[in-house]
Amino acid sequence: MQRRPWLTTFRRLSSPRPAIPRLSIPPRYHYEISSRCLSSEASTPKLRFGQPTFETHPHLLKSGEVTPGCSALEYAMRRAKLASELPDGGLAICASSYVKYRSGPVFYEFHQDPDFYYLTGFLEPEAVCVMEKTGPDGEHIFHMFVRDKDDKAELWDGARSGVQAAVDVFNADEAGNIDHLHTHLAPLIEKAEFIYADIKPTPRRPASVFSTLFSSGGPDNMNFTSMLEGKRTGSLKHLMHKLRVFKSVPEVANMRKAGKISGRAINMAMQNKFTEEKNLWAFLEYQFKIAGCERSAYVPVVAGGRNACTIHYTRNDDILRDGEMVLVDAGGQYGGYSTDITRTWPISGRFTPAQRDLYQAVLNVQKLCVALCREDAKLSLDEIHGVAELGLKDELKSLGFDISDRAMEVLFPHHLGHFVGLDIHDSGSYSRNLKLKTSQCVTIEPGIYVPDDERWPKHFRGMGIRIEDSVCVGEEAPLVLSVEAAKEVVDIEALGESHAQ
């Protein structure tokens, strides 16, 4: 495997990051796509894969892209970065998601495991990738084990990419049939000294192909658990999250596109008169998709009136009433990357005096905290949360709130923000205590939720207000990924004029 220095290809926002280790990238990744994928066969109508490619879906992908916005070289560099983090003799094993079923044969929409997506760009279920470290500068062998072509199965469930495409399209060095994973995986584990894998399923990460084999022993009485005896093991999740928390230029571009589409859709919603939460929900879903997003990034919150006081209100089945506000927490997904936006606006198009006062209080704090999302501020998300809490206390005092006796635990019960990317709550094992660094992407979402309780000023009771942006941390200034979504009072009311008459 030829060594090539990895210098500025993965340029961060603003000033350069500290020196990046040399990574060895196979020469074919320096072309737009592996030449094997550009054979004459690729132009025939018979070519079918389990996901869009440039050859089959040029309206979705540019030449050389594996997924929207991300090239074969982008994925190769990610794998080389992971390999460079592994110890000598290290092996990293990552499994795709399974298809999950609601009941009987009725399945949920498939969502790929984000770590597997990050390393491969492969969007099918029942697959495993293995990174076998072979040298100190990111040298590695990239193995993929996927479902083979099967005419009968594809008649029912659609095309599969197959084993050969794992090499030709997804640039695996070696590939095999997932049905024979035990025979492929056993010798790799046997010669490795250190295994990085997430074997045990968790409530948020159900059993995978790999974890099922480890728990069941696999076919032919192959006991994978016993194979780990004498091996040093570690969690792949923690290593992956340390890599994924820093976004490349293509990743930020995808998140910016998702933010632009989502922000404009929210502005259009402000211009329309909706009488039911479900109709507003459907409008946003439609606008996200027709403007280019694959889907909504998460089940949205569309909460009218006092429903906004429930943080994760997702029933979205109530009436929207004039004189109240609606809180919308929604965003689209583009190229697998999410945007997370919350806006609160008056259903009638104009704020009442009390609504305006409380809204402006939250907005003042939100803008202050967004401005702190820069590396030279030397603050962590936890520390910015503390800034938000103090700011909200001051704002609420000026509005006549009694904030004694742990009042803020009631009025502001959630954290200010989280990391965002392939997951809405991205890189969950990466601590919010660590100082923010350039090219990390976070949300900033202060909120105030006033219960219908005599303790609070009467004219604010039942109001829930949250304002949230997705933000990319810069060296000296933040990049607001959702900047299109209106949040100033004057802008929201200007958008509402079209239906307020």
Contact 468, 341 (CB under 8 A): yes
Contact 95, 208 (CB under 8 A): yes
Specify burial of residue 408 (Cβ count, 10 A radius: 0-12, 13-18, 19+). Answer: middle
35 pLDDT more than 70? no
Enumerate the β-bridge partners of residue 469.
444
Residue 380 DSSP code: B
Angle between helices 489-500 and 353-371 (to 10 degrees): 140
**Using 50, 70 and 90 to split pLDDT, how confident is the model at 18?**
very low
Contact 328, 482 (CB under 8 A): no
Query: Of residues 44 and 401, which shows the higher confidence score?
Result: 401
Q: What is the model's pLDDT at position 221? A: 40
Taking residue 490's Cβ as centre, other Cβ atoms within 10 Å add up to 8
Q: How far is CA 308 from the centre of its chain?
A: 24
Contact 189, 228 (CB under 8 A): yes
Q: Over the stretch 344-386, which tens digit does the pLDDT of each residue have?
A: 999 999 999 999 999 999 999 999 999 999 999 999 999 999 9
Contact 474, 438 (CB under 8 A): yes
d(CA 171, CA 40): 18
Q: What is the model's pLDDT at position 260? A: 98
Q: What is the model's pLDDT at position 224? A: 64
Q: Over the stretch 296-352, which tens digit does the pLDDT of each residue have?
A: 999 999 999 999 999 999 999 999 999 999 999 999 999 999 999 999 999 999 999
Count helices and strands (H / E) in the chain: 14, 21
Q: What is the model's pLDDT at position 414? A: 98
Q: What's the whole-number mean pLDDT along residues 134-159?
A: 94
Q: Where are the beta strands (DSSP E) in 300-340?
A: 301-304, 325-330, 332-334, 337-338
Residue 341 DSSP code: E
Taking residue 376's Cβ as centre, other Cβ atoms within 10 Å add up to 12
Q: Name the residue type at position 92.
A: A
Q: Name the residue type at position 461.
A: R
Q: What is the model's pLDDT at position 498? A: 77
d(CA 455, CA 175): 65
Q: If you count them, how many residues does the chain have?
A: 501
Enumerate the β-bridge partners of residue 345.
326
Q: What's the whole-number mean pLDDT along residues 131-145?
A: 94
147 pLDDT more than 80? yes
Strands 194-196 and 90-95: parallel
Query: Of residues 48 and 210, which shows the higher confidence score?
Result: 48
d(CA 306, CA 308): 5
Strands 341-346 and 337-338: unpaired
d(CA 35, CA 42): 11
What is the C-alpha end-to-end distance of the chain, expressed in Å?
A: 69
